[in-house]
Amino acid sequence: MPWPRSQLFEIGDLSWCPSWLHQHEQFTLTKLWTLKFPPWGRESLATKACEVFKEHMQDLSSYTVLDICAGSGGPTPVLEFELNRELEAEGEEPVQFILTDIDPHIEAWQQVCKKQKNISYIETPVDARAVPRLGNRKECRIFNICFHHFSDGDAAGILKSAVESADSFM
């Protein structure tokens, strides 16, 4: 590369950011997944992400989807709603989702789980570089847009863990 690596930060990542602003930032990022912006297409990013799931994963109902850097929930509630709405209409079992993070957002996750029964969470910190295998279902790890949070070494460790431990990742 002809220029040095630059790493982006969200304002909520900075130590001085008040919690109310961080929560607003997380809410806004989640809402962006449902935004439909006509020049780029008639579907939201969440709908497009669900199309990738359906196109590349056989027997989607047999998977647990593990969001390894979930923040305050990120797009997972939107993905769960979109995917499971279609599976239910087809008479299929729902996909299960699990929220994890090195810095768990328990209060936000509790609110998500009250509304969506196919989402659960792990209360303790989970290092994305060494995620344990959870249960006996097939496992898909999702990274969404979280890689800007990680150094190159950490990102390599996260991908290595996914390749070695999970059945798939997106």
- Enter the tokens of residue 99: 């929220």
Per-residue pLDDT, 7: 52
Confidence (pTM): 0.84
Residue 123 is assigned to a structural domain of this protein: yes
pLDDT digits (tens, 9 = 90+) for 23-71: 777 777 777 777 887 776 788 888 888 899 999 998 999 999 999 888 7
pLDDT digits (tens, 9 = 90+) for 121-138: 999 999 888 888 887 899
Which of 10-14, 46-50, 110-114, 131-135 is predicted with the least confidence, judged by mean pLDDT? 10-14
Contacts of 27 (CB under 8 A, 6+ apart): 72
Question: In sequence order, which ranges of 65-151 are alpha helices (DSSP H)?
Answer: 76-89, 106-115
Residue 9 is assigned to a structural domain of this protein: no
Per-residue pLDDT, 20: 81
Cβ-based burial of 39 (10 A; exposed 0-12, middle 13-18, buried ≥19): exposed
Residue 5 is assigned to a structural domain of this protein: no
Counted domains in the chain? 1
The three-state DSSP-derived secondary structure of 16-85 is CCCHHHHHHHHHHHHHHCCCCCHHHCCCCHHHHHHHHHHHHCCCHHHEEEEECCCCCCCCHHHHHHHHHH
Per-residue pLDDT, 4: 66
- Taking Cα atoms as reference points, which of 56, 32, 55, 54 lies closest to residue 44? 32
Residue 110 is assigned to a structural domain of this protein: yes
Residue 12 is assigned to a structural domain of this protein: no
Which of 4-18, 54-68, 98-112, 152-166 is predicted with the least confidence, judged by mean pLDDT? 4-18
Residue that has been written with the tokens 């630059």 in this structure: 6
Residue 133 is assigned to a structural domain of this protein: yes
Confidence of residue 5 (pLDDT cuts 50, 70, 90): low
Which residue range(s) make up the domain with 35? 18-169
Per-residue pLDDT, 154: 87
Confidence of residue 6 (pLDDT cuts 50, 70, 90): low
Cβ-based burial of 31 (10 A; exposed 0-12, middle 13-18, buried ≥19): exposed
Per-residue pLDDT, 83: 93
User: What is the distance between the alpha carbons of residues 23 and 27, in angstroms, rounded to a whole number?
Assistant: 6
Q: Residue 67: give its domain's CATH number.
A: 3.40.50.150
Per-residue pLDDT, 146: 72
Cβ-based burial of 150 (10 A; exposed 0-12, middle 13-18, buried ≥19): middle
Residue 11 is assigned to a structural domain of this protein: no
Per-residue pLDDT, 40: 66
